[in-house]
Amino acid sequence: EMTLEQREFYRERIKEKLQARDAVMVAHYYTDPEIQALAEETGGCVADSLEMARFGKEHPASTLIVAGVRFMGETAKILSPEKRVFMPTLEATCSLDIGCPEDEFAAFCEQHPDRTVVVYANTSAAVKARADWVVTSSIAVELIEYLDQRGEKILWAPDQHLGAYVRDKTGADVLCWDGACIVHEEFKARGVEELKAVHPGAAVLVHPESPASVVAIADVVGSTSQLIKAATEMPNDTFIVATDKGIFYKMQQLAPEKTFIEAPTAGSGATCRSCAHCPWMAMNGLENTLAVLQDDNGCGQEIFVDPDLARRAMVPLDRMLDFGK
Ligand code: 13P
Ligand code: SF4
């Protein structure tokens, strides 16, 4: 554990190095509060995965430091091939990405050539390169609605819970891959019900990577940005939140007078407290961020995407950005 003085030292060095290298930080809401704060203070962004992609593409800096997980860095690189993209560590991956290997996914697509292939942003560049569309949770329902109205049948990957949610909301023909997020799949409806009994005025905010039983008792289902918006706009003074606890930093900052409670991850009663936090998001720290900035080659933590793969993956990614406008 670092002392306060050490943290301050790291923060100051990182700020200097960002300037010196014409670099900007792009951080996800699930990263640790000090990483989010640093991104904000230095003119970067803290955002959901769709906004991160947009920010990275539009920002004039020549170097991006993506504090999040691997697919976010890859997406940034694909959308800005001329920029250098680094991550505090390339080891930060995602269970959805791991659970959807390119070769198996390709075989699945080949079995269903009549379906429009829609993949979640939480996938590798190789999986995106096979897709017709990329989506994030903030636009998934709208996009599937649009494709359904055009009479298209959908092949969806990799998150089965988000896939089931969009199928349920739209009535579209959605064939799902069976991936899951290791953080969200642990939330338990019974535990949320018990917490609601203790806090009857609380609103329940749920990320759609959670199981259907938890989504069913949500007052609001949405992407991280959409949940933060709900937390600030709804009149309730207490919220039960089923998503990674990194999100509490922004919720508390925007609504300091409100109370935010973590949704339980085991049905062991209303006093159950989880530590719902993505182990890969947690790998983004002050030390590895500074190390990457101090080394010309970013300590080997630079994102490279095969140019041919990147060209193919850019097509469905650009469709996502256009559709999300
Ligand atoms: P958002 O697009 O809602 O930010 O979600 C990304 C993610 O990894 C959720 O686990
Ligand atoms: Fe992947 Fe879940 Fe972590 Fe998001 S929280 S990056 S979906 S493992």
Tokens 């109370």 label which residue? Answer: 259
pLDDT tens by residue, 119-163: 999 999 999 999 999 999 999 999 999 999 999 999 999 999 999
CA 195 to ligand 2 centroid distance, Å: 24
Strand partners, 196: none
Kindly state which CATH superfamily the domain 96-176 is placed in.
NadA-like (3.40.50.10800)
Judge whether residue 263 has pLDDT over 70.
Answer: yes
pLDDT value of position 268: 43
Domain ranges of the chain: 4-92+281-304, 96-176, 184-262
CA-68 nearest atom, ligand 2:
6
Confidence (pLDDT) at 270? 45
Residue minimizing CA distance to atom 2 of ligand 2: 181
Return the closest-CA partner of residue 41 out of 22, 64, 68, 14. Answer: 14
Query: Has residue 205 got a pLDDT over 60?
Result: yes
Strands 238-242 and 23-28: unpaired
Residue 23's closest CA among 317, 218, 302, 277? 302
Q: What is the Å distance from ligand 2's center to 128 Cα?
A: 17
pLDDT (0 to 100) of residue 1 = 84
Distance 202 CA to ligand 2 centre (A): 25
User: Is 314's pLDDT higher than 70?
Assistant: yes
Residue 251 identity: M
CATH topology of 4-92+281-304 equal to that of 96-176?
Answer: yes
For residue 275, what pLDDT is reported? 64
Homologous superfamily assigned to 184-262: NadA-like (3.40.50.10800)
The answer on pLDDT for 22 being more than 80 is: yes
Q: At what angle do helices 33-41 and 286-294 cross, to 10 degrees?
A: 50
What is the atom index within ligand 1 of the atom nearest the CA of 184?
10
Q: What is the mean pLDDT of residues 63-82?
A: 98
Query: Nearest 5°: CA angle at 22, between 21 and 27?
Result: 100
* Distance (Å, whole) CA 196 – CA 162: 23
Mean pLDDT value across residues 247-256: 98
- Segment 12-41 shows an average pLDDT of 98
Strands (DSSP E) found in the chain: 23-28, 45-47, 63-67, 84-86, 116-120, 133-135, 154-157, 174-176, 203-206, 220-221, 238-242, 259-262
Check: CB of residue 235 under 8 Å from CB of residue 203.
no
Query: How far apart are the C-alpha atoms of 8 and 3, rounded to whole Å?
Result: 9
Q: Using CA atoms, how far apart are residues 297 and 280, in angstroms rounded to an integer?
A: 22
Q: Is 16 annotated as a binding residue?
A: no
Residue at token pair 């790291």: 10
Q: What is the CATH number of domain 4-92+281-304?
A: 3.40.50.10800
Pick the atom of ligand 1 nearest to 281's CA: 8
